[in-house]
Chain A
């Protein structure tokens, strides 16, 4: 039998005993057993979403509990926490011959690592202690946001702010980190569990709201964050978020996939640098080829115009493979970790010399806008397939979002004026 106990809970239990000086200090906890798999997890508090078969388990610092007939009646398991050691006991089955001699059998115990030890393996590459104090706001928890959230949790980011009003739906599942069991749940709730499943010490704040209707909240969450991930699927929310990150001077990473995830791109905003609106006028950026994954939300956001028939709208939904968006998510995670580790000496800091660009493009296949991209052999410095291509973006003169307030260079529509003149003379 494999049994696990949470090291942090044991440390807290001992600290509590020491602080109160009370002995014995008993806690009625729970044992979660993956039935038929011979695996047990002991917890002092019932996990938020219980799993496996649950049965009562006593945590005590007094091994006299093993002799106590009330405990034998009440608990299937006892965890004895001594000053230096922890031992776990399970009752022999009632029909077991051994039970006449002895009710409890000692079982081997392993630790679920404590806060301090959870990320010890990343130490050296990442400065884990520093990352635990960092807060990341993730706007949009679809296939991009969910993957990024979990990767950042695995890297040891300590605080999250999750913003998405959507629920886990069948059409999300293939590329989403959530599974069938999460169908119908708010994405913020499902991701909350998933993040804590990787890092039980993470602090996760959930905001199941439409940011376009809650700009004050958006501003508040941006201001509290050390870094912002923009993983929404429409420009309306990107512009609202862009305005907030510019105002609050926060690094923000924007990522998206092109149609059928033939490729995708990542844009990094840093204070005083070009912003998302500056990017839009750039020749590299192709706003029209954005991947559309859901008709309903695309209609709501105006990506699919209301006059487009149901049939044509359905044809516009061309979703790529999860494997095709993974490289884009992964790039966003890397840039995020480098940005969050700035000024801290760690193994990942060397990437600061590589990740100097504002805009990164990736092509999965030679298709659509990537049709004419060179093949990898012989591409030289040119953009090619399956290799990141970085470029710098010019700040847009008179940008309405990152320029000085009141000094935007507005598009005065000289082109349409010409058309109007022509048609008026018809």
Chain B
């Protein structure tokens, strides 16, 4: 069910950006794939685009209600915190676009018209963090986002609630 989606996403290109660095070395990609397999993420739920000028990986993320696509940019990964986008512009309960940095919703300034999730701070990041963990964190965010649409509580509320 994701095939059409991936071909659509792979045509996207952007020019802004800070880092010229290449993506992760092949050995790391192999390890990331091994983790995804170990965690039973179905093969059709992710796809790596490594030959692009700015490599990235796309994940399908399923919540109770719908399926979203997450795009994780791999330039400079794993030395840098990678940028993660939900590949559409999400709106909050009140119809406002989630397109600018907001601590309570854990989103950052959007790019390419897509909502960007704030999933890791610089101080807590380490190169040992797997893409799988980022994927799970973002699935967590999407679930909290849908609860937000129902209740109006923000992401921060649910994160604190979880702890």
Q: Which positions in A face B, CB cutoff 8 Å?
A: 210, 212-215, 234-236, 239-240, 243, 277, 280-281, 287-288, 290, 300-303, 305-308, 396, 398-401, 405-406, 408-413, 416-417, 419-420, 422-424, 426
**Complex: chain A residue closest to B127, CB-CB:** A400
User: Contact at B133–A239, with CB atoms within 8 Å?
Assistant: no
Of the residues A277, A303, A398, A411, contact of B123 by C-beta under 8 Å:
A303
User: Contact at A305–B28, with CB atoms within 8 Å?
Assistant: no
Contact A422-B27, Cβ < 8 Å, known A240-B79, A280-B126: no
CA of A280 to CA of B133, assembled, Å: 18
Most buried by A among B38, B109, B136: B136
**Complex: chain B residue closest to A288, CB-CB:** B123
B154: shortest Cβ distance to chain A, in Å? 12
Q: Mark B1-45, 1 if CB is under 8 A from A, else 0.
A: 000000000000000001111000101101110010011000000
Q: Mark B92-133, 1 if CB is under 8 A from A, else 0.
A: 000000000111100111000000001001111111111011
Q: Which positions in B face A, CB cutoff 8 Å?
A: 18-21, 25, 27-28, 30-32, 35, 38-39, 63-64, 76, 78-81, 101-104, 107-109, 118, 121-130, 132-134, 136-137, 139-140, 143-144, 147, 158, 162
Of the residues A236, A290, A417, A422, contact of B136 by C-beta under 8 Å:
A417
**Interfacial chain A residues near B123, Cβ < 8 Å:** 235, 287-288, 290, 303
B123: shortest Cβ distance to chain A, in Å? 4
CA of A215 to CA of B25, assembled, Å: 14
CA of A396 to CA of B108, assembled, Å: 32
User: Contact at B128–A213, with CB atoms within 8 Å?
Assistant: no
**Interfacial chain B residues near A413, Cβ < 8 Å:** 129-130, 132-134, 136-137
B46: shortest Cβ distance to chain A, in Å? 15
CA of A348 to CA of B35, assembled, Å: 49
**Interfacial chain B residues near A280, Cβ < 8 Å:** 126
User: Contact at B21–A215, with CB atoms within 8 Å?
Assistant: yes
